[in-house]
Amino acid sequence: MLKREACRANAGFEFKFATASHEASYANPYGEALLARCYWAVTFKNGGLRFWVNFMEKYGMPILIGKYNRGATKDEAENLAQVLLDMHEDAVIVSPSDIEITLAEATRTSSTDLYLEMINFCNTEISKALLSQTLTTELKNGSLAAAQTHYKIRREIITADAKIAESFINHIIKLIAEINFGEVKSPQIRLTLNDSDNNQKLERDIRLLNAGVPFNLDYWTRTYGLKKEDLNL
């Protein structure tokens, strides 16, 4: 994407491309990408997973200790080491009676918790960046108040996204009008969100009608999305 000043340097170039961006500025005409906020969280999470896997490979199973006599040869020591490696997979070993093999249990649960806490923290940061809430992804239980609060935040994000789409579509309409009719006032669209409960509205309207409050045809079409030809008032 080019800056507007660069587009104007080429006649008609700004009419060939239209882009939608979030929080674009002169210094950063590309805008701010949503995934850019997840970069460090994903990076640290991947690193934490890698170190956690290494930790589990090292301490996730008992350490096998093989003891041999001081007079054993180098080949005998290497054979014993290979036998212990095979035992990690097969859990079966056959050895002479003078070779001692013991197990050393690894008990480092606190270190494991550190990896898990870091990964959970990164997951929370990613969820907040992408969904702007954690109730549907992180919390095991919740309340109505928490759900309503998270929904309110989510609705603000949806409204902001709708404004980006609205501005982008109006920009395209403006370019089309300018190409075909010159410098004229172009029509504009307006995106609105309607998440209200029609059942609550209907109950309210029935009470108002029973109380003698009339409604015109425009009200029914505007409130419930009906068509005028479908109503007989």
pLDDT in the model for residue 95: 61
122 burial via Cβ count (<10 Å: 0-12, 13-18, 19+):
buried
Its pTM stands at: 0.55
pLDDT in the model for residue 170: 92
Distances (CA, A) of 21 to 1, 9, 38, 154, 162: 10, 22, 18, 20, 12
Alpha helices in 24-143 (DSSP H): 39-59, 74-90, 109-131
pLDDT in the model for residue 41: 93
Residues of the chain with pLDDT under 50: 1-3, 6-9, 11
pLDDT in the model for residue 12: 58
pLDDT in the model for residue 7: 47
Three-state secondary structure of 118-160: HHHHHHHHHHHHHHCCCCCCCCCCCCHHHHHHHHHHHHHHHHH
- Whole-angstrom distance, CA of residue 139 vs CA of residue 15: 48
pLDDT in the model for residue 124: 87
pLDDT in the model for residue 183: 85
